[in-house]
Structure 1
Amino acid sequence: MLRYLLRRLAIAVPMLIVASFAMFMLVSLSGDPLSRFRSMDPPPPESSIRSMELELGLDRPLPERYVRWLLGVLHGDFGKSVVNVDIGQVLPGRLLISLRLIVIAIVVAAIVSIAVGVIGAVRQYGLIDNSLSVLVFVGMSLPLFWFAVMLKQWAISINRSSGRTILYTIGDGSQTGAHGLALLGFLALPTIALAVNIFASWSRYVRASMIEVLNTDYMRLARAKGLSRTQAVLRHGLRNALMPFVTVVALEFSSLVGGAVVTESVFQWRGMGDLLLNGIRNLDVHVVMAWLLVFATATILLNLLADLVYGLLDPRIRHARTF
């Protein structure tokens, strides 16, 4: 397992470098970061614009700019921002806010999707399965932005009827130092919005995988040995059914990050989503690259983690022998 882990990490490093180069080229060619200054009326002196170009390194060829940026990142310097934001200083706090939302949403969605998928498979084509299927398809059809806005309106009506703020519709709680139940009030709505958006599709994968497992010979053998259906499902079926689900979670992490950007925008969280949107508005190459680099790294690491989880779910897998 250790050899496999080291090998995957060795492959991930050049993969990340190639991905960062492609992203840097695309982001740098997307527009002129100083265009908003050039379009001012009256425009600033040409000497000022020239000075900003030199400060941001825009006068250098793209390959050289990438190399300088990459060397800076290796030393913890993410480059200069157009709006004078210290990227390295704000990045950890913004990342913590976004990861808190994403991780909690993944945990909630995974638990609910596994429960719904297993129950639907065990009660296949019954009343419970059909009812859950309707609920799942409704969840899949809900646009995330619209659903988040509806949750805000619902929370506002609850707060008004109760005469106090139970569910917070704006902010992430970091500015107020919220903790305990207050922090839960900030987290509840964004987590529900993001979790509902992903649990619906995940539960269908679990259901399909569990139906396939229930029809295998080893499940029939487990029942023949005297295990109840619940015992057979939990002891033998669930572990094998979860292997495709682990793959789905890892592969859909990037879309989950995109959903987090939308969710943070609706609830006005000052996380990585807000950082990305401001960077795009300002054509701030280094801010956008910092965001892309962080989540590209997270995606690669999550896929590596998924491969390692396979070994825990299925003892027959031995990475060291394969590689």
Structure 2
Amino acid sequence: MLRYIARRVAIAIPMLLVASFAMFSLIALSGDPLAQIKATDPPPPPSSIKSLEHQLGLDKPFLIRYVLWLIGFVHGDFGQSIQNIDISSQLASRLGTSMRLIIGAIVLAAVLAILVGVVSALRQYGSLDNVLSIIVFVALAVPVFWLGALLKNWAVSLNESVGATIFYTVGDGAHSGVTGIAILGFMILPVIALTANIFASWSRYVRASMIEVLDADYMKLARAKGLRKYQAVWRHGLRNALVPFVTIVALDFSSLVGGAVVTETVFQWRGMGDFLLSAIRNLDVNIIMAWLMIFASATILLNLLADIVYGFLDPRISHS
């Protein structure tokens, strides 16, 4: 098993290097990060422009800039911000806010997807399966921003009707000094908005995988030995059905990150989404690169963890 994990890690490191070079190249080719400053009226003196270019490393060749940036990233130095923002401190505070939303959505979506997928497979083509399928397809069709707006309007009406604030519709709570269990009031609506699409997609994968498992020979053998249907599903079926589901969760992390940017905008969270949009508006390339690299690293790490979990769910993989 250790050799299997070592091989997975050895593959992940080159992937991260290739991703970093691709993203750095795309950002470098996207335009002049000082274009907005140069376009001001009156324009800044050439000496100020040259000073900014030197601070940002724009006066160096492309490959040297990439190597210096990569070395700095490994050491936690994300470079100079055009807006004179401390990138490290901002990332530290905002990353925690966004990961609170993303992890909450992953946990909720995974639990709902497994429950709905397994029940639909056990009741295949029955009335309950049809009802759950309708709910799933509606959830797939609803845009995240529209669902978030609906939830906000519903929460405002509910709060007014009861005369108290049950659900918070603006802010993430952490930047308002809220801690502990009270912060759940800020999380519930954004997590639900972010979960709807992804849970619906995952539940279809679980359903399809579980239907295939139920028809497997080892499941028929377990039933022939006297195990009840639900015992056979729990002991033998679910573990095998979750093998492809682990990959789907890891691959869809990037989709969740994109959905989190929209969700944070709707609910006005000061997380990584707001940080990215502000950097794009100001062409702050070092903030954009730091943002992309952090989530690219997280995506590759999750796929690495998925490969390791594969080895535990199906020992044949780690022993092959």
What is the TM-score when the length of structure 2 is the normalising length? Answer: 0.97
- Aligned residue in 2 for 1:113: 113
Q: Partners of 2:214 and 2:44 in 1: how far apart?
A: 71
> Alignment partner of 2:166: what SS?
coil
Partner of 2:165: 165
- 1:89 deviates by 1.7
d(CA) in 1 for partners of 2:189, 2:10? 40
1:180, distance to aligned residue in structure 2 (A): 3.5
Greater shift, 109-118 or 247-256, is seen at: 247-256
Q: Give the match for residue 280 of structure 1.
A: 280
1:297 partnered with 2:287: no
* Structure 1 stretches lacking a partner, 5+ long: none
1:91 maps onto 2:91 in alignment: yes
1:146 aligns with 2:156: no
Tell me which amino acid in the other structure corresponds to 1:269.
W
Aligned to 2:248: 248
Letter in 2 for 1:173: G
What's 1:180 paired with?
180
Unaligned ranges ≥5, structure 2: none
Shift of 1:14: 2.1
- Count residues with an aligned counterpart: 320
- 1:263 match: 263
Alignment of 1:43-58 (within 5 A): 43-58=43-58
Q: 1:33-86 deviations in whole A, cap 9, x for unaligned?
A: 111112212222222222211211112222111111111112221100110111
What code does the residue aligned with 1:3 have? R
Deviation at 1:225, TM superposition (A): 1.3
* Whole-angstrom CA distance in 2 between matches of 1:304 and 1:213: 25
**Matched-pair identity in %:** 66
**1:236-293, Cα deviation, whole Å (9 max, x unpaired):** 1111111111111111111111111111111111111111111111111110110111
Asked if 1:202 corresponds to 2:196, the answer is no
TM-score scaled by structure 1? 0.96
CA distance in 2, matches of 1:31, 1:283: 9
Deviates more, 1:34-43 or 1:232-241: 34-43
> Is the 8 Å Cα contact of residues 206 and 241 (structure 2) preserved in structure 1?
yes
Matched, 1:69 2:69: yes
Cα deviation for residue 177 of structure 1 reads 2.2
CA-to-partner distance for each residue in 1:97-150, whole Å, 9 max, x for gaps? Answer: 111111111010000010000000000111000000000000000011111111
Q: C-alpha offsets along residues 139-168 of structure 1, whole Å, 9 cap, x if unaligned?
A: 000011111111111111111112221111
> Runs of 4+ in structure 1 displaced over 4 angstroms?
none
